Amino acid sequence: MEFRDLTAQYQKYKSEINTAIQEVISTAQFIGGKPVIELEEQLAKYVGVKHCITCANGTEALSLVLMAWGIGAGDAVFVPDFTFFASGEVVSFRGATPVFVDVDRDTFNIDVKKLEKAIVQTLEEGKLTPKVIIPVDLFGLPANHIEIEKIAKKYNLLILEDGAQGFGGSINGKRACSFGNAATTSFFPAKPLGCYGDGGAIFTNDDELAELLNSLKIHGKGQDKYDNVRIGVNSRLDTIQAAVLQVKLKAFIEHELEDVNRVYRLYNERLSGIVEIPVIPEGYYSSFAQYTIKLKNKEQRDGLQVYLKEKGIPSMVYYIKPMHKQEAFSNLQFNESDFEVTNELCDIVLSLPMHPYLSEDEINQVCKAVKAYLQRS
Ligand SMILES: *Cc1c(COP(=O)(O)O)cnc(C)c1O
């Protein structure tokens, strides 16, 4: 059994994917060109925003937006404590200071009450200037963007939605990567929409920001790439990756997003009352980058993971360590009592195999093993 089966997907779309790659090779245009332009149009249309700017990966996508906004030394950027390292890394990379905020125990996403508290506290301390909120759509579930937008407005902050895991999710029909002033996603192979290497994209309705990003990602280009009007970076999505993504986006829209939600329902039916199952609030739709359960304590979680492994069932702990405990941020001061929920989650979460091609037999096998272990222990 695979944790995320990319081979099954390839087998189903083999001829289309091979043709798409072959076409790029035969035209010998490996950077830019039709597949990239078309993909950006298709992604913007799907998400429901004016501009999509593809780039090298999801981390660069975040960095580019912070760069475009001129975020740097002395600025505070609010980031959930429970997320992949990159969400906070980009803040420090730009010279700004990440302020980590605890998350909601049910949704795994940034706790909006604690977010406001952290903003007020930062203002009171007066050392840093609050500038940006980076809400993360963790495990495929959009963050509470409705409340976050209100808070951003109240304190005059920008919102950068980290939709690296959230592509395909929605709140009352409004799609992930359309919230805030700008949003980003990642096409890392294991993400909801993945390519065959690294890739990323930025989404925005802001015309000026889009123009600036298109310059920054190609060495600060002006009229063309040999006219350089600012310092930028080299951050492009390869043409081959764009061609692969065009095929995969079609599959994602046609059935894969519904299929992961089918897997979610089947898991829930079997595991409800046995372990804590994922909570999807009313009006929210998840793209299920992960199906994450909660166990009683660390001992039970670790024991279950070992037991599943013995049965040939892969599982993952996302995340084993909160952001504020990462050595890379050890120069910052934290108060452990601010991160009660994240500290607990890191001990009790376990992500089970999740992908659109998971069969009912496999789901039964996983759930049977989970039940057998919990009855035993
Ligand atoms: C994967 C991920 C990123 C980074 O994306 P890459 O394409 O791997 O650079 C950023 N934020 C979150 C929440 C992620 O899961």
Strands (E), 8-74: 51-55
Q: Are 131 and 224 members of one domain?
A: yes
Same domain, 218 and 285: no
Give the atom of ligand 1 at the shortest distance from the alpha carbon of 191.
Answer: 1
The answer to whether residue 365 sits within a structural domain is yes
Mind listing the pLDDT tens digit for each residue in 249-288? 999 999 999 999 999 999 999 999 999 999 999 999 999 9
Ligand 1 neighbour 162 (Cβ under 6 A): yes
For 168-173, which contacts have Cβ atoms below 8 Å and span 24 or more sequence positions? 168/140, 168/192, 168/193, 168/252, 168/257, 168/287, 169/137, 169/140, 169/141, 169/142, 169/284, 169/285, 169/286, 169/287, 170/142, 170/284, 170/285, 171/142, 171/145, 171/146, 171/283, 171/284, 171/285, 172/283
How large is the average pLDDT for residues 243-251?
98
Query: Would you give the distance in Å from CA 348 to the centre of its chain?
Result: 21
Q: Does residue 58 line the site of ligand 1, with CB under 6 A?
A: yes
- What pLDDT does residue 17 have? 98
Assess whether 162 and 239 both reside in one domain.
yes
Query: Which range of residues forms the domain containing residue 260?
Result: 255-376
- What mean pLDDT comes out for the span 195-224? 97
**Ligand 1 atom 7, closest CA:** 58
Q: What is the Å distance from ligand 1's center to 60 Cα?
A: 9
Tell me: do 178 and 323 sit in the same domain: no
Shared domain for 239 and 275, answered yes or no, is no
> pLDDT category, 224, cuts 50, 70, 90?
confident
Least reliable range by pLDDT among 26-35, 221-230, 303-312: 221-230
- For the chain, helix, strand, coil in percent to 5 are 45, 15, 35
Mutate to test the pocket of ligand 1, among 162, 184, 236 (most ligand atoms within 8 A of CB): 162
CATH of the domain at 274: 3.90.1150.10
Residues 226 and 285 occupy one common structural domain:
no
Q: Is 59 in the pocket of ligand 1 (CB under 6 A)?
A: yes
> What is the pLDDT averaged over residues 225-246?
96
Q: Are residues 85 and 230 in the same domain?
A: yes
| Secondary structure element (H or E) that encloses residue 365, with its range | helix 360-376
Rounded to an integer, what is the distance from CA 202 to the centroid of its chain?
A: 12
Ligand 1 pocket, residue 164 CB under 6 Å: yes
- What pLDDT is recorded for position 377? 67
Domains in the chain, number = 2
pLDDT value of position 376: 83
* Per-residue pLDDT, 366: 98
Residue 1 falls within a domain, yes or no? no
Give pLDDT tens digits for 46-105. 999 999 999 999 999 999 999 999 999 999 999 999 999 999 999 999 999 999 999 999
Do 198 and 56 meet the contact criterion of CB atoms below 8 Å apart?
yes
| Residue 100: its H or E element | strand 97-101
* Model confidence at 219: pLDDT above 80: yes
Ligand 1 midpoint to CA 156 (Å): 26
What length does the chain have?
377
Regarding the beta carbon of 97 and ligand 1, being less than 6 Å apart is answered no
3-7, 92-96, 100-104, 223-227: least confidently modelled range: 223-227
- At residue 31, φ and ψ (nearest 5 deg) are -120, 130
| pLDDT tens figures, 151-208 | 999 999 999 999 999 999 999 999 999 999 999 999 999 999 999 999 999 999 999 9
Is the CB of residue 319 below 6 angstroms from any atom belonging to ligand 1?
Answer: no
Reported as a single tens digit per residue, the pLDDT across 290-324 is: 999 999 999 999 999 999 999 999 999 999 999 99
Provide mean pLDDT across the span 18-26: 98
Q: Ligand 1 pocket test: which of 83, 84, 233, 319 has the largest number of ligand atoms within 8 Å of its C-beta? A: 84
Judgement on whether residues 259 and 232 belong to the same structural domain of the protein: no
Does pTM top 0.85 for this prediction?
yes
Q: Which atom of ligand 1 lies at the shortest distance from residue 289's CA?
A: 15
